[in-house]
Amino acid sequence: MDFHLERGLRLHTEPQYKNLYKWAINEVNAEGRPIGGDQIPWRWSLDFTATSCVLRDSFQIRQPLGFSFTTSNSDGTTSQQETGGQEDRSERSQVIRLELRPGSPRDTDGYDRQTKFSMFGTDRTIQKFELCITSLASNDEQERCTVWGCPSYTTEIDFRDETTDDCIVFSLSVKPEAFTRYIEKIDRGLVDDVHFSVGHVDGFYSEWSPSISTSRVKVLTSDQEHKVTLPTDREFEVPRLGRIGEVSLSINRHLELVDNPPHAHAVEPKTEVGAGIELRAPQATTNLQALTDSPMMHVLQSLKRAAWLSAWALGLLLVVILLRR
């Protein structure tokens, strides 16, 4: 397995600003010279938004691998042995898998607002983030969340080289009642966006900043290939991906509601004529008179008279025809 890492890592225990932090990690080149600034643990919150969701409901049956073999005894004889005895096992699992992007749902006005993540030892921006939600066995268990990650690597599978990209995967285990509720929301299409937030994540680093947000985060995985060189006189456990101190998950549904303001109290219409003269205009009679005097009403009345004349002429014609017979 060949990891795609271009630089080494070194623990720095004598930073210039000791009043701000006591230690840091530096990326170093082949000659051992630092590249970039000091990277210290990032403890503030980081937001993610789901871009797609997959509900996987799987089922499998496992049968014991029973086989027989021959053994030699101390007296020179042989005996037949068999393995097995276990019953068939069936397993069912449900997993909610969400693809994530850095940033909150409202960060839609540009790529520059999103925090850029990259593995220590490389400048590649991590593109693959996942959140896997599973159910605990019972409601008595404590909900938990962990994170795992891996730098990009190339390995040989069936005589072919395959490359896996940098990735970060969050694993969230919730109580059964909450998991059932999440599945119902997804199954009924009652989800418009999912917001996931984490804080105090071991393995997330950034340069010191007085702000509570950062534009870049470096990631240190638990893989042995992600090695950090320590000073010869120090024993130090560097925080790596795994534990998460704070977790927040919001599954949201948006509805557009019509805001109908209350109607104002009815006020009699007033018409001002000249200065200081006020006339109250009749309401129903005015509207009726306007409708009666409209051109359309005159047209309808003319059509009505024409229809009566036509009917009278047809009746007269019918009488004449009958008399002639």
Give the CA distances from residue 179 to residues 21, 156, 183, 224, 245, in Å, rounded to whole numbers and listed in that order: 40, 38, 6, 34, 21
The reply to whether 113 falls in a domain is yes
CA dihedral 240, 178, 248, 93 (to 10 degrees): 30
The reply to whether 15 falls in a domain is yes
What tokens does 110 get?
């540009």
The reply to whether 264 falls in a domain is no
Name the residue with tokens 């007269």.
Answer: 316
DSSP strand pairing (270-272 vs 278-280): antiparallel
Per-residue model confidence as pLDDT tens digits over 46-64: 999 999 999 998 988 877 6
**pLDDT of amino acid 156:** 83
Total domains, the chain: 1
Q: What is the mean pLDDT of the chain?
A: 83
The reply to whether 261 falls in a domain is no
Q: Which of 132, 146, 113, 165 is nearest to 4 (CA)?
A: 165
The reply to whether 25 falls in a domain is yes
Range of the domain at 203: 2-58+90-252
The reply to whether 278 falls in a domain is no
Whether the pLDDT of residue 108 is over 80: the answer is no
Report if pTM > 0.75: no
The reply to whether 174 falls in a domain is yes
The reply to whether 265 falls in a domain is no
Work out the pLDDT band at 276, boundaries 50, 70, 90.
very low
CA dist 213 and 102 (Å) reads: 12
* Contact predicate 105/147, CB 8 Å: no
